[in-house]
Amino acid sequence: MGKSKRLMALGKKGVIIGGGLKKTSELYRYVTLNQFLSMVERKKMHLTRVISWEDPWELPSLKIPTKRRNGKLEYPKHSYLKNIYGQCWSLNSKSDALWRIYSSRNNGILLHASVENFLKLDNLKFGFLAPVIYYSDLRQALAAIHEDDKYKGCYRFFGEALLKRESFKHEAEVRLLVINNEMCLGKKYKNEKHIELQIEPLSFIKGITIDPRASDWFVNTIDTYCRKNGFKFTPRKSKLYSPHVFAETKVIRKYIPVKP
C-alpha cells in the first residue's frame, strides 16, 4: 500500500494529536521579533523542511546506509521522509536555555497557544501534532516507533520526525508535522524550503511573554503594537530574572532567639 493510500486508511482529517496531548494543553513557541511581526502582518505560519534543520541527526533513517551483498553501503535516494515539514513548539514556558537560544538580542517573543488552536487550521487537510520522543539508543528508538503498539497510526508516518537525542530534552518540544503532498496540504509545493499556512493571529495567539532581559521601552513598544493590532491580552515581560525574590516567592525567615 502506497504512502498516500495508507494516510487515507487512517480515516481522519485535520490535525491529529498524539503523545498524551489534550485540546486544552498549552503550547509555547520562542520566536524572534521578526518572526512575530511577520506572523501578525502576513497572517501566515511557516513550516520548514525537516531535513534542512540544523541538527544533522533529524530523520535518522536518511543517514543510515543499507549494506549490500557486495559490501557496498548505499544511502536512501528516495524517501517520503524528505518531504516532511514541521514547526516546533514547547511545553516549557520558563526556560532560560530556550530564551538564550532563540533570543540572542534580548528581544524575543514567547507565543502562547493551545492544542485546540491547531485543530482549527482550515487550510491543513492532514497533519500530526505530538511531543518529541527523546532517546539514548537510536536502534531501540527506531524499533519502537515502527513496532511498539503505543506508537501506531500517525506515528508510522511521522514518527522518525519526532525522534531527538536526549541532549535536547530540556526543550520539551512538540512538533506540528505534515507531508508535502495533496493529502496533507491540498497541493504539492515544489522545491520549497518553507510552507506557509494561513492563520488568524488574533484567535490563534492566546498570549505573549517578552524576553526577561528586554528593556522597558521594548516591552512598552510590543504592548502598543499588540493593542493597535487588536489583541485582547496584555503582553507581559517574563519574570524569570526578577530581582524581587521576596515579592515573587513570599518566602520569609522566622526569627528564633537563641537562649544564652
pLDDT digit string, tens, across residues 133-152: 999 999 999 999 989 988 98
Q: Are 190 and 101 in contact (CB under 8 A)?
A: no
> Which grid coordinates belong to 214?
528586554
Q: How many structural domains is the chain composed of?
A: 1
User: What are 39's three cell numbers?
Assistant: 506572523
256 within domain boundaries: no
CA dihedral (90, 17, 182, 123) positive or negative:
negative
Inside any domain, residue 152: yes
Q: How many CB atoms lie within 10 A of CB 184?
A: 23
The answer to whether residue 257 is domain-embedded is: no
* Residue in 186, 183, 208, 209 with CA at minimum distance from that of residue 197: 186
Is residue 220 assigned to a domain? yes
Query: What SS3 state is found at 180?
Result: coil
CA distances from 218 to 28, 54, 181, 187, 231 (A): 21, 29, 41, 40, 17
Evaluate whether residue 31 is within a structural domain.
yes
Q: Rounded to whole angstroms, how far apart are CA atoms 155 and 18?
A: 9
Question: How confident is the model over 222-256, as pLDDT tens digits?
Answer: 999 999 999 999 999 999 998 888 888 899 988 88
The pLDDT of residue 248 is 84
Range of the domain at 170: 3-249
The residue with cell 487512517 is 10
Let me know if residue 258 belongs to a domain.
no
Predicted confidence (pLDDT) per residue in 9-60, tens digit: 455 678 999 999 999 999 999 999 999 999 999 999 999 999 999 999 999 9
Residue 8 has pLDDT above 70, yes or no: no
Q: Is the dihedral of CA 150, 153, 154, 159 positive or negative?
A: positive
Among candidate residues 192, 222, 215, 193, the one with its CA nearest the CA of residue 31 = 222
Query: Would residue 254 count as lying in a domain?
Result: no
Domain annotation covers residue 243:
yes
